[in-house]
Chains A and B, each alone.
Chain A
Amino acid sequence: DQQVKQNSPSLSVQEGRISILNCDYTNSMFDYFLWYKKYPAEGPTFLISISSIKDKNEDGRFTVFLNKSAKHLSLHIVPSQPGDSAVYFCAASALFQGGSEKLVFGKGTKLTVNP
């Protein structure tokens, strides 16, 4: 059962416009949420994160919003650039039974920014 869901497998936007990537989760015990970016033939790299006690975190062109009541988070990229074209993974962290802290990933959304 997918605890972290990215329902859009792909997204295409024009350069300069806003990209909005969405993520839903089911486990209310998640205490930290992250976005990773992945280029082809490379491993995922950390992009931005947010604690469950906050509702917004901003880093340059990237902003993550968290709506705990809706169990929803989103990543906004403004303005989008062609170099942002990659697969974006939403991930969530929680302390599971037995003291195991795990990072659970969604399936990813492929973003294409057209020049």
Chain B
Amino acid sequence: DAGVIQSPRHEVTEMGQEVTLRCKPISGHDYLFWYRQTMMRGLELLIYFNNNVPIDDSGMPEDRFSAKMPNASFSTLKIQPSEPRDSAVYFCASSLGSGARGYTFGSGTRLTVV
């Protein structure tokens, strides 16, 4: 099993540009989570999906952020327009069931907005 796959690993973009982060969850997992890690706030849950349906997006910081899961094997997190304060490491995780023990994280995307 290849685990949770995120792309790109690193992204550097200019302020105002659109950024799209991608995630392929583990096959068969029915939950998908997007987290953001910063020094100030640690790991924050942004949004999660169950069977491709968004369940809780209360962690999405602003309307500039949007996430989609068009099918069971793919999800995107989009920031438009990007700002320097969006610089962080973004993690995708998936699980079978919402039980906390089952979260498998990807390696993350390090986003730098200049």
Chain A residues with CB under 8 Å of chain B are 2, 32, 34, 41-46, 49, 89, 91, 93, 96, 98, 100-108
Count A-B pairs with CB separation below 8 Å: 58
Rounded to whole Å, the gap between the CB of B28 and the closest CB of chain A is 17
Contact of B100 among A44, A93, A108 (CB under 8 A): A93
Q: Is B25's CB within 8 Å of the partner chain A?
A: no
List, in ascending order, chain B residues with CB within 8 A of A89's CB. Answer: 42-43
Chain B residues within 8 Å of chain A by Cβ, number? 24
Once A49-B100, A49-B101, A108-B42 are accepted as A-B contacts, the answer to whether A41 and B91 lie under 8 Å apart by CB is no
Chain B residues with CB under 8 Å of chain A are 4, 33, 35, 39, 41-45, 48, 55-56, 58, 91, 93, 98, 100-101, 103-108
List, in ascending order, chain A residues with CB within 8 A of B108's CB. Answer: 41-43
Rounded to whole Å, the gap between the CB of B101 and the closest CB of chain A is 5
Interface of A: prevailing SS: strand
* A98 contacts B56, C-beta separation under 8 Å: yes
Distance, CA A101 to CA B45, complexed state (A): 11
Rounded to whole Å, the gap between the CB of A34 and the closest CB of chain B is 6
Rounded to whole Å, the gap between the CB of B99 and the closest CB of chain A is 8
* B101 contacts A46, C-beta separation under 8 Å: yes
* B42 contacts A106, C-beta separation under 8 Å: yes
List, in ascending order, chain A residues with CB within 8 A of B91's CB. Answer: 43-44
* A42 contacts B107, C-beta separation under 8 Å: yes
Distance, CA A103 to CA B105, complexed state (A): 13
* B105 contacts A105, C-beta separation under 8 Å: no
List, in ascending order, chain B residues with CB within 8 A of A34's CB. Answer: 100-101
Distance, CA A42 to CA B9, complexed state (A): 10
